[in-house]
Chains A and B, each alone.
Chain A
Amino acid sequence: MKPLVNAFLAIVVTALALMYLGAWMNSNEGYSGGNTLTIYNWGDYVDPELLEQFEAETGITVIYQTFDSNEAMLTKVQQGGTTFDVVIPSDYAIAKMREEKLLLPLDHSKLPNLAHLNPRFLNLSFDPGNQFSVPYFWGTVGIIYNPELTKGMDFSSWNSLWDSRLKNNIFLVDGAREVMGMALNSLNYSVNDQNEAHLQDALSKLNRLSPNVKAIVGDEIKMLLAGEEAAVGIVWSGDASEIMDENDKLDYIVPEEGSNIWFDNMVIPRTAANVEGAHRFIDFMLRPEVAAQNAEYVGYSTPNDGAMKLLPPEIAEDTRFYPPAEITDRLEVYDNLGKRMLAHYNELFLMFKMNKK
């Protein structure tokens, strides 16, 4: 019995010591109450130097937390266990958060740097008048391909994916909206189509793609494509630019039939503790120099016109990642389809996954 009691005591003492140490370290770094700003963002989606610069300028301590899907973020914000001051969700998630009244309206008078944003990326369907959100980065969904392995095939149409030469050579990203949207686009339907006959068409078209699909994967798609495990992938433009940084043989294209254009915007949740600081942070990120540095670090497309002028021309003039207005006009934002339709999209996607080669 004695050694058991001793072991138990040792565990309790260690746990208490660790708790104390943790609290001490937090207070040393200024994390205790008062002047902090909690930012909830996608992983590796901001230049850490900029956070330091913001802290130095304002004296506010930034606590940076990350999520890996809009759904995970939504659940956490809904539960309200942690107070976040600035969150960076995507378009359809913003529509949903607006509907559920999870957001605070922005005070535009505190955001003078809004003027630098390209009007093309303002006043969009998910947030008319940018009442609740300000664009952070944007991008598209398209095809990344390895010209060496595909031997000069042309990917300007989604239908090129169905070519029998690509047998077992395509990676798809594991997203119902992306894959269903791609199939709908290939049939010249909208990515937000809700017509049952059109959706069934898309499913049977997808089933015919099965022999060409090597795998349907998540974030691993970047590692797999950079490692040339397959010649073609369907990815978000930001991921494509990361993959191309690692393996410059690859190329990216947004097919002509149209595709998805997405936005990650900064919002302030209703539970925010430091609303003033949140506005200062948003305005800071909109500063042209800051936005340019961030865009160079992250590799996604910035909506900031001022920043575009500061970016090196090889980035700013790359039409793969900064397509001109006549192309983006053909692209569609994902609408918030509602729970029921979203479930249906996912069910169809599941049926496609179950369809064996």
Chain B
Amino acid sequence: MTNKGRSYYLIPYYLWIALFVIAPVLLILYYSLFDLDGHFTLGNYVNFFTPVYLKMTLTSFWYAFLITAFSLLVAYPAAYLLTRTKHKQLWLLLIILPTWINLLLKTYAFIGIFGTFGPVNNLFDVFGIGEQQILFTGFSFVFVSVYIFIPFMILPIFSALEELNLSLLDAARDLGASGWTTFRRVVFPLTISGVRSGCMAVFIPALSLFMITRLIAGNRVITLGTAIEQHFLVTQDWGMGSTVAVFLIAIMALFMMLTGGSRKGVQK
């Protein structure tokens, strides 16, 4: 096939990107330049740098960081064990299965599980810990988010671990490396690409979570996603909502550039 023929096949792809990626981003940029009365203004951007929104940005970052960190902490060992099990496909299916269920349904289930009279508190009672407030705390927010995002962290790490050449581990042991050193110097650096894509798949959506902040955190955790939702649905201040979205997009782009950049460094 000639080069020219091949480029025709790319047309649908370019169309898709133009219509569903570039056009929406441009529209958001455009809307962010108008105030409530439809007048051109940069006031929305000025407004973003007030304590309310800066604090919100920091909160969003902090929680997105916590969610990513805990997901990684659970997902890496899980993915590692997964590569060592017999019925890999079955276990993998069990991890993917919950992602087929609607996110809101899963979230609603946790309202019951974490409730004052829910099974978790009943268990606490059995052990004599007594009733705890779990629902509507930062903890429950992070826990439920980690639960929801964990398959997206496990899968890329799992495939990176699968590609790992096992003879490298034997070689490391032959050369006298301890288990920890082998992990630190051989396994982890070779699977870093999986960790990186897992972190991206979790961190970026975690930044803009909104329904879980109300259902599980009872609006005690306010993220940028909450603000966008409110501006579009309640105040109909599309300008300010778009401005928040522009900053989110900028932050995400920056994050991807930073993580993408270091990949090249490793490959050299």
Q: Indicate whether A215 sits within 8 Å of B219 (C-beta atoms), given known contacts A339-B36, A351-B52, A354-B56.
A: yes
> Nearest A residue to B211 by beta-carbon distance?
A218
Whether the pair A343, B237 counts as a contact (CB closer than 8 A) is yes
B215 near A: Cβ within 8 Å? yes
Whether the pair B219, A343 counts as a contact (CB closer than 8 A) is no
Looking at B3-11, B147-155, B190-198, B228-236, the stretch in contact with chain A turns out to be B228-236
Out of B111, B215, B230, B233, name the residue touching A350 (CB < 8 Å). B230
> Nearest B residue to A230 by beta-carbon distance?
B116
> Nearest B residue to A229 by beta-carbon distance?
B116
> Nearest A residue to B47 by beta-carbon distance?
A347
The CA-CA distance from A343 to B237 in the complex, in Å, is: 7
The CA-CA distance from A247 to B233 in the complex, in Å, is: 32
Whether the pair A339, B117 counts as a contact (CB closer than 8 A) is no
Out of A217, A223, A343, name the residue touching B214 (CB < 8 Å). A217
Whether the pair B236, A339 counts as a contact (CB closer than 8 A) is yes
Out of A176, A214, A228, A353, name the residue touching B234 (CB < 8 Å). A176
B220 near A: Cβ within 8 Å? yes
Chain B residues within an 8 Å CB radius of A171 = 218
Out of A215, A342, A347, name the residue touching B136 (CB < 8 Å). A215
Whether the pair A71, B37 counts as a contact (CB closer than 8 A) is no
Whether the pair A346, B115 counts as a contact (CB closer than 8 A) is no
B177 near A: Cβ within 8 Å? no
A216 near B: Cβ within 8 Å? yes
Chain A residues within an 8 Å CB radius of B37 = 339-340
Whether the pair A215, B235 counts as a contact (CB closer than 8 A) is no
**Distance in Å from the Cβ of A117 to the closest Cβ of chain B?**
31
> Nearest B residue to A356 by beta-carbon distance?
B220
Whether the pair B219, A353 counts as a contact (CB closer than 8 A) is yes
Whether the pair A350, B222 counts as a contact (CB closer than 8 A) is yes
B133 near A: Cβ within 8 Å? yes
B227 near A: Cβ within 8 Å? yes
Interface of B is mostly: loop
> Nearest B residue to A343 by beta-carbon distance?
B235
**Distance in Å from the Cβ of A83 to the closest Cβ of chain B?**
23
The CA-CA distance from A351 to B222 in the complex, in Å, is: 10
The CA-CA distance from A340 to B52 in the complex, in Å, is: 18
Out of A174, A342, A350, name the residue touching B52 (CB < 8 Å). A350
B142 near A: Cβ within 8 Å? no
Chain B residues within an 8 Å CB radius of A22 = none
The CA-CA distance from A171 to B218 in the complex, in Å, is: 9
Mark out the residues of chain B between 62 and 82 whose CB falls within 8 Å of any chain A CB in the assembled complex. none
Chain A residues within an 8 Å CB radius of B55 = 354
> Nearest B residue to A218 by beta-carbon distance?
B214
> What are 22 A-B interface contacts by the 8 Å CB criterion?
A69-B233, A71-B236, A168-B133, A171-B218, A215-B217, A216-B214, A216-B220, A224-B111, A224-B115, A227-B117, A229-B115, A339-B36, A343-B235, A343-B237, A343-B240, A347-B52, A350-B230, A351-B52, A353-B219, A353-B220, A354-B56, A356-B220
10 closest A-B pairs (Cβ-Cβ)?
A215-B218, A216-B219, A215-B136, A343-B235, A346-B235, A339-B36, A343-B237, A353-B219, A354-B222, A229-B116
What 14 new A-B contacts, CB under 8 Å, besides A224-B115, A347-B52? A69-B234, A71-B233, A214-B218, A216-B214, A217-B218, A220-B215, A228-B117, A229-B115, A339-B36, A343-B240, A346-B234, A350-B230, A353-B222, A356-B220
Residues of B participating in the A interface, judged by any CB pair closer than 8 Å: 36-37, 52, 55-56, 59, 111, 115-117, 133, 135-136, 214-215, 217-220, 222, 227, 230, 233-237, 240
Residues of A participating in the B interface, judged by any CB pair closer than 8 Å: 69, 71-72, 168, 171, 174, 176, 214-218, 220, 223-224, 227-229, 339-340, 342-343, 346-347, 350-351, 353-354, 356-357
